[in-house]
Amino acid sequence: MSGERSWRVWLCDLDGTLLDSFPGHEAAFRQAIAELVPSRLAGFRYAEHAGASTAAVAARLAGDPGVAERLARRKQELYREHVRAGRVRPFPGARLLLDRLAAGGRTAYLVTGGSRASVERALAAAGLADAFRDVLTADDVPVSKPDPEVYRLACRRWDVDPAEAVALEDSAHGVAAALGAGLATLHVHTAAPLPGAIGVGDLHDVVSLVGEEVNGSE
């Protein structure tokens, strides 16, 4: 990373990016599906939906709006049980990354497909509740990743110039949303970054990039 670009603003995803929460989300979805739409359980693969909001996934699975609403609500209840039980933890390097961004004068925002109630609980449990200037959740937007409008709305809401910002994402849906909004995008926790994204191995690698970016801008 050269000093030609200074990413003053970091737009961070949460689930699968900063939090190792996929097992909790998948378990919650599978139990909710088994209870409410058991015929869809055998074909359910959470990885195919990662990055999308719970409501959007439930709508795809259930079809009927009433069933979808109950499915989403039940999944959220079950996921919050996983959070309370301590089964959702930050990835190694998450707190260090956010602290380095703050120390370097960078601003971090959270752009997540989770519901506000679930996100607030997960952030508190992970010790990350104080790490973001502001938070955008699925409750705040009418669409779900991979729709770029999620990130466009975030930039409008916070008066962020996309040319001075970078998105940190892990899922194909999230990366597609960020790239579609014209953001430089770091694709973390993958050996095969999507075209157009910058691949980084894990959050400690992102911390190293932050050091290079901050030093290069001085």
Amino acid at 207: V
Q: Catalytic: 139? A: no
Beta bridge partner(s), residue 10 = 108, 166
- Whole-angstrom CA distances from 106 to 109, 117, 131, 139, 165 are 10, 26, 11, 26, 10
Among residues 13, 20, 147, 170, which one is catalytic?
Answer: 13
Joined tokens for residue 212:
């290079």
Q: Catalytic: 202? A: no
Q: What is the dihedral of CA 84, 88, 94, 99, to 10 degrees?
A: 0
How would you class 130 by CB atoms within 10 Å of its CB: exposed for 0-12, middle for 13-18, buried for 19 or more? exposed
Joined tokens for residue 146:
């991979």
Joined tokens for residue 55:
């409501």
How would you class 208 by CB atoms within 10 Å of its CB: exposed for 0-12, middle for 13-18, buried for 19 or more? middle
Catalytic positions are 13, 15
